[in-house]
Amino acid sequence: MSRNPDQASAQVEAVKEYFRRGDAGDFPAELFAPDFQFYFPKYGVGRGAAAFFELAAGMRQGVVKRAVHHVDELLVVEQGNCVVVEGTTEGTDIDEVAWHGGRSRGGRFCSVFVFGQDGRIVRMHVYLDPDYTGKHKAGFVWPSRTSEAW
């Protein structure tokens, strides 16, 4: 039996719920295994909710004031117990500088979610450039590039 492409699986719905609730400031712990593994650039690998809260606190204190994922525009690939999403975010950093994925330097991401047999997320690896607003000028090593397409 084939599934209607517009009809998301429970795993895809869990991923979207994670983004929606996370953007609202709520960590949906019931979607995750207690010892889930996560990866985030500059932080590295962590395990469990306490480490994830440490990551989130650091982001709120030093990087991001507000961020929202464009959940309805995600590119979603699901294979077995794995869901990969590519998408964009928008928001402001702690200095009130705005970004909008696809329109500015920052804001594009790819995340890989792996689900356990109980349907909860056991692994979430996030791939992005955490320099959302392009402040790390030394990271832009193509000074002669005349066109910027984001």
User: pTM score, two decimals?
Assistant: 0.90
From first CA to last CA, the distance across the chain in angstroms is 39
Task: List the domain boundaries for the chain.
Answer: 22-132
Query: What's the pLDDT score for residue 1?
Result: 41
The DSSP call for residue 105 is: S
Q: Mind listing the pLDDT tens digit for each residue in 3-42? A: 555 557 999 999 999 999 999 999 999 999 999 999 999 9
Contact status, residue 106 vs residue 99, Cβ threshold 8 Å: yes
32-40 and 44-47 beta bridge pairing: antiparallel
CATH 3.10.450.50, domain 22-132, yes or no = yes
What is the identity of the amino acid at 7?
Q
Query: What's the pLDDT score for residue 5?
Result: 53
What distance in Å separates the CA atoms of residue 41 and residue 132, rounded to the nearest whole number?
12
Q: Is 25 exposed, middle or buried (0-12, 13-18, 19+ CB in 10 A)?
A: exposed
